[in-house]
Structure 1
Amino acid sequence: MTLSFTKMHAHGDDFIVVDLRGQVDPITSEVARRLGDRHRGIGFNQLAVLLDCDDAAARLRFWNSNGSMLDTCGSATRGVADMLMRETQASSVVLRTNRGLLTCTRVSEQGISVDMGKPLLHWQDIPLAQAMDTHLLPLPGSPTACSMGNPHCTFFVDDLTQVDVAGMGAKTEIDPLFPHKTNVHFVQVIDRRHIRLRIWERGGGIPLGSGSCCCGAVVGGIRRGLLDDTVEVACDGGTVTVQWDGLGSVVLTGAVESIFHGTIVSHFFQA
């Protein structure tokens, strides 16, 4: 067996796409982990697998580079949408993830918007270990929490340069408050329409960007009354725009880019 893949990135958040429509899916946790190894594999923040779907163009299954699964990935969803819209010459496409049906729209040659769905704000939906107000968590720094399909914990800081992202991120990710662990964001508000964001990603460490984390960070800032409903988010690897009216779906918009195509050789799938 050999499999073709496409390597892509969105503001530095890199991922690979494997199209398995009409094929058997050979991707396991171990295969995903080996593919994600930046020295012995391909290397990525996430792997997106395209599968057949009756009610959408494709169903997406996501893997982290450590071999764990995740329910949503805003960057890879936009990357797949870009590929499928080019394939069909369409201006929009609907994809199914564990978050449900997500509508993606082309806004420019490289720019893709995705309706990421409504944020989940109740403690049981994130989930947290016990009942509490998710607007203000009982942790040092008083972060806020939500879920965009994956758990997100957002700290607001005065100066990002003074934050130990790796130390605080790793510690918060595995805090007992988060039974499924959590993504961790550190946000410096520039003004009501601009933030600077650094991320500790659950199962991945410090990425250059993350679409779902950008969404979670903006949701937290809007809930705190710090931000307007349209925000430009500057990550280490570039910028995206996040829109949320406080009630409905979160819309993520930004550029995606294909880097190269390749083939995974058959012996890679052998134990």
Structure 2
Amino acid sequence: MLNFTKWHGLGNDFVLMELSPDAIPQEKIAGFVHRVCHRHFGVGGDGLVFVYCDDKGFINMRIFNADGTEPEMCGNAIRCVAKYLYTKGLVKDTSFPIQTKAGIKVPEVIIKDGEVTAVKVDMGEPILESEQIPFKGERGSKVIDQEIQVDGKKILITAVSMGNPHCILFIDERVDQFPVHILGPQLECHRLFPAKTNVEFVEVLDRNRVSVRVWERGVGETLACGTGACAVAVGGSLCGHLDPSVEVNLSGGRLYVEWGSNNHVYMTGPAVEVFQGRCRVERWEVGS
């Protein structure tokens, strides 16, 4: 039996375990994650988050999507991890580093009347060079309002990495009526994104507010994406649509993102514990 907690950040939900993924045989981890995240036969979630200390004593977070693939980073998940660590007394300071596959991120829990009301995360600097996103463009170039072909049609995209790749479309119609389920998977697997990509569909409301729907790589449409909200703020500023401080309205709720003068992106939003439990796994699925 394994202990877990269930969390969500604006409806983007995760199963969180205090366990290193190295405890699971590499050839079994995708099946293990899929089984735990299955919404009918498992706990259910968009992803499984492993939280553990490495041999140097650093806090690590690794996340796997429900399909068993491992993204580099997840903004909603790191807020949940930060609140989990603080409320469980596993860290004492309100701000502390967490090692991710996208590098060290520094969340800060925001406390009001003795309760954690939100988590602000220094998400680091956005990555704009095409080869680092990665995007198959001219080396060193930026992907800003670039025309590409999708299913025989020309569309404009902007690409940003926040440690994981994002493809951003600014649309001239209501985002709640946009065919996300058609264009989302086409862009996720587009040949120009060799590592696939997350996709954000953005309706600009004014220079400080947007409405966004997210097609998440390896998951499908999700209610929210923290790194996606950060990418939207950066991409919108680069395209001239947005100011550096933006309210991002997602299907699951609201995030606040600021692209600071130091080139760091700061994301603030909630994290909610849903329940705690124990799940039964076969002995072959987890190593000793």
Q: TM-score, normalised by structure 2?
A: 0.88
1:180-195 equivalences under 5 Å are 180-195=195-210
8 A contact 1:13–1:209 mirrored in 2: yes
Q: Distance in 1 between matches of 2:57 and 2:129?
A: 28
Asked whether the equivalents of residues 236 and 242 of structure 2 are also in contact (C-alpha less than 8 Å), the reply is yes
Determine the structure 2 residue equivalent to 1:260: 275
Q: Which residue of 2 aligns with 1:118?
A: 125
What SS does the aligned partner of 2:220 have?
coil
Question: Which amino acid in structure 2 is aligned with residue 138 of structure 1?
Answer: E
Q: Taking structure 1 as reference, are residues 246 and 66 closer, same or farther at Cα in structure 2, changes over 3 Å only? A: farther
Q: CA deviation at 1:270?
A: 4.1
Asked if structure 2 preserves the Cα contact closer than 8 Å seen for 1:37 and 1:65, the reply is: yes
Among candidates 196, 212, 221, match of residue 197 of structure 1: 212
* 1:229 to partner: Cα distance: 1.4
Alignment CA distance shift 1:55-1:223 (3 Å): farther
RMSD of Structure 2 on Structure 1 (CA): 1.9
- The correspondence of residues 1-271 of structure 1 with structure 2, limited to 5 A, is 2-20=1-19, 25-26=23-24, 28-53=29-54, 57-86=58-87, 87=89, 88-108=91-111, 109-131=116-138, 132-139=141-148, 140-159=154-173, 160-245=175-260, 248-267=263-282, 270=285
- In the alignment, is the contact (CA less than 8 A) between 1:134 and 1:144 conserved in 2? yes
| Deviation at residue 152 of structure 1 after TM alignment | 0.2
Q: Deviations over 1:226-264 (max 9, x none)?
A: 111111111001001011036511111001110001112
Which consecutive residues of structure 2, in runs of 5 or more, have no partner in the other structure? 149-153
Structure 1: gaps (5+ residues):
none
Moved more, 185-194 or 88-97: 88-97
Structure 1 residues 248 and 133: alpha-carbon distance in aligned structure 2, compared to 1, 3 A threshold: closer
Q: Secondary structure at the match of 1:110?
A: strand
Task: Look up the SS of the partner of 1:43 in the other structure.
Answer: coil
The separation in 2 between residues aligned to 1:270 and 1:150, in whole angstroms, is 28
Task: Give the TM-score taking structure 1 as reference length.
Answer: 0.93
SS at 1:112's partner residue?
strand
Closer, same or farther: CA 32–269 of 1 in aligned 2, 3 Å = farther
The alignment of Structure 1 onto Structure 2 pairs a total of residues equal to: 269
Shift of 1:83: 1.1
Percent identity over the alignment is 34
2:43 alignment partner AA: I
3-state SS in 2 of match to 1:106: strand
